[in-house]
Amino acid sequence: MEKLDRMSGVRAVVAEWRRKGERIAFVPTMGNLHAGHMQLVAEAKKRARRVVVSIFVNPLQFGANEDIDNYPRTLAADSELLQAAGVDLLFAPQATEVYPQGLGAATRVEVPDVSEGLCGESRPGHFVGVATVVAKLFNMVQADVALFGQKDYQQLAVIRRMVSDLCFPIEIVGVPTVREQDGLALSSRNGYLSAQERALAPRLYQVLSEKVARVRGGERDFARLESEALAELRAAGFRPDYFRVCNRHTLKSATAQDRDLVILVAAWLGGARLIDNQEV
Ligand code: AMP
């Protein structure tokens, strides 16, 4: 596996693959890799001859009071995992390589509509940061296909919309959420949980699954379902941010007539903001 931190190096390697007609898959990450990330890599390997993974803790997507300074950085261990998984190229740039003009002066990509509401409401500027860095990474790597986790459901919607609106010549693949045995979605932020919080954390998935089952069973009073879920999460010790039944395509609150639904939740448990979702 090659490890590069400069865009020019990545371009040279990828150009050589392209000359040979090899298909290239790309998995962008912020590192601290777990089985969820590795599932994206496994799917990437099925879809292309070459796999590029990036590790970059993107400062533009963190708010002023968020966890960028504490975000876990484990590059050596990540690199070993990727090597063992048969990844061809690890791209781990510094912030100055990605934002040579500095953050304040960087051109930004704003995806309206799907970025609004849910995490976009609680984390102002977050999806501008995500869309901007993903657009830049797409242009740096120039892959044929890129893979993203459905755990970050709104993020995936933002990226699909950006790719469509800006005509990026790349295919986007969403990969189902990888979970612990007890249902908790794998996340780098799970490491912020104390042992006691970790024991409580699966309640998020349980409440979500119960409400999904209710909707499947014909429940159409979504407002009642949402307020029940919020109360249950509070009683379990979470500080819920939102729990919402949405239209899968628009990510707006669902009406009783909507058919393709997804339930999304974000809640704080101690110092960790956990998110999860399930399509109905
Ligand atoms: P991150 O490093 O958190 O930015 O995540 C990098 C990619 O991994 C994103 O596309 C995430 O959606 C995906 N991802 C994170 N956690 C999981 C998970 N538990 N299952 C599947 N994909 C995941």
The CATH number given to whatever domain includes residue 85 is 3.40.50.620
pLDDT of residue 30: 98
Same domain, 12 and 141: yes
Q: Is 177 in the pocket of ligand 1 (CB under 6 A)?
A: yes
To the query of whether residue 37 is one of the catalytic residues in this protein, the response is yes
User: Domain of 88?
Assistant: 2-175
Same domain, 37 and 170: yes
Nearest CA to ligand 1 atom 10: 148
d(CA 280, CA 277): 10
Per-residue pLDDT band for 45 (boundaries 50, 70, 90) equals: very high
Which residue, 116, 147, 175, sits at the end of a domain? 175
Asked if the structure places residue 180 within a domain, the reply is: no
Cross-strand partners of 148 = 174
d(CA 263, CA 164): 24
Asked if the structure places residue 22 within a domain, the reply is: yes
pLDDT of residue 138: 98
Does residue 24 contact residue 142 with C-beta atoms inside 8 Å?
yes
Q: Is 54 in the pocket of ligand 1 (CB under 6 A)?
A: no
pLDDT of residue 141: 98
Q: Collapsing DSSP states into helix, strand and coil, what is residue 173? A: strand
Could you read off the pLDDT of 156-170 as tens digits, one per residue? 999 999 999 999 999
Same domain, 195 and 162: no
Same domain, 150 and 272: no
d(CA 265, CA 242): 6
Does residue 236 contact residue 270 with C-beta atoms inside 8 Å?
no
Is the pTM here over 0.95, yes or no?
A: yes
Asked if the structure places residue 50 within a domain, the reply is: yes
**Which is the closest atom of ligand 1 to the Cα of 187?**
16
Which residue, 146, 175, 204, sits at the end of a domain? 175
Could you read off the pLDDT of 14-25 as tens digits, one per residue? 999 999 999 999
Question: How far is the centre of ligand 1, averaged over its atoms, from the C-alpha of 146 (Å)?
Answer: 13
Same domain, 141 and 262: no
In the DSSP assignment, the letter for residue 103 is S
Which residue, 141, 175, 209, sits at the end of a domain? 175
Per-residue pLDDT band for 199 (boundaries 50, 70, 90) equals: very high
Per-residue pLDDT band for 70 (boundaries 50, 70, 90) equals: very high
Count of Cβ atoms closer than 10 Å to residue 189 Cβ: 17
Q: Is 61 in the pocket of ligand 1 (CB under 6 A)?
A: no
Taking residues 109-113, report their average pLDDT.
97
Domain count, the chain: 2
Residues in the chain: 280
pLDDT of residue 167: 98
192's CB contacts (< 8 A; 6+ apart) are: 67, 70, 270, 271, 272
Asked if the structure places residue 183 within a domain, the reply is: no
For ligand 1, mutation pick of 39, 40, 56, 90 (most atoms within 8 Å of CB): 40
Same domain, 272 and 163: no
Same domain, 45 and 80: yes
